[in-house]
């Protein structure tokens, strides 16, 4: 659960500023800069791996940001539930069951969000590029998480 929690946290940190800049406040230029660097690196990586034109990448980036802003709501709820469970709160069996049901519902909602995202992307991208965008997103997230963990280990 802690690895999933960490990955969700990393993802949230990477998109929250774009999705909800007002929550960071106007005095967070360093955080915004990091988020923009992440999004630019993600876009560059995806564009390279999927051989996207500039116009295609602009479309993909817009759609990703739209999807990210919706996804963050779900991930925040998952994070809240995971934290509640992992902090040793006293829950009875029925409460654990309801949390588990909600976590699975959120997974389904995220899967629907992904399906909708790739349906929209499919209106302007070939199937080949669509598959390469999907794989590019997954690989970038994996590489980002791996890099984050290495930096974290060096700091510890």
- How would you class 115 by CB atoms within 10 Å of its CB: exposed for 0-12, middle for 13-18, buried for 19 or more? exposed
CA-CA distance, 94 to 91, in Å (whole number)?
8
Domain residue limits at 111:
2-155
Q: What is the pLDDT of residues 54-96, one digit of tens each?
A: 999 999 999 998 888 788 889 889 999 998 888 877 888 999 9
Return the number of other C-beta atoms located less than 10 Å from residue 46's C-beta.
Answer: 24
Q: Would you state the pLDDT for residue 55?
A: 96
Q: Say whether pLDDT at 144 is over 50.
A: yes
**Please, what's the largest Cα pairwise distance for the chain?**
54
Nearest one of 8, 118, 129, 154 to 72, comparing CA atoms: 8
Instruction: Count how many domains the chain has.
Output: 1
Q: Say whether pLDDT at 147 is over 50.
A: yes
Helix (H/G/I), strand (E/B), else coil: 129: helix
DSSP string, 9-71: HHHHHHHHHHH-HHHH-TT-HHHHHHHHHHHHHHHHHHHHHHT--HHHHHHHHHHHHHHHHHH
Q: What is the pTM of this model?
A: 0.71
Cα 2 to chain center, whole Å? 17
Lowest mean pLDDT among 6-10, 17-21, 35-39, 86-90: 17-21
């Amino acid at each position: 659960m802690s690895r999933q929690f960490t990955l969700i946290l990393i993802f949230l940190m990477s998109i929250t500023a774009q999705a909800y800049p007002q929550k960071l406040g106007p005095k967070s230029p360093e955080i915004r800069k990091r988020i923009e660097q992440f999004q630019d690196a993600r876009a560059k990586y995806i564009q390279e791996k999927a051989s996207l034109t500039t116009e295609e990448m602009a479309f993909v980036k817009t759609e990703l940001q739209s999807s990210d802003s919706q996804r963050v709501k779900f991930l925040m709820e998952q994070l809240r539930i995971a934290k509640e469970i992992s902090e040793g709160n006293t829950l009875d069996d029925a409460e654990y069951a309801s949390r588990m049901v909600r976590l699975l519902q959120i997974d389904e909602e995220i899967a629907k969000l992904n399906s909708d995202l790739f349906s929209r992307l499919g209106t302007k991208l070939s199937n080949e590029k669509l598959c390469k965008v999907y794989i590019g997103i997954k690989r970038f997230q994996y590489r980002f998480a791996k890099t984050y963990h290495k930096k974290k280990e060096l700091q510890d």
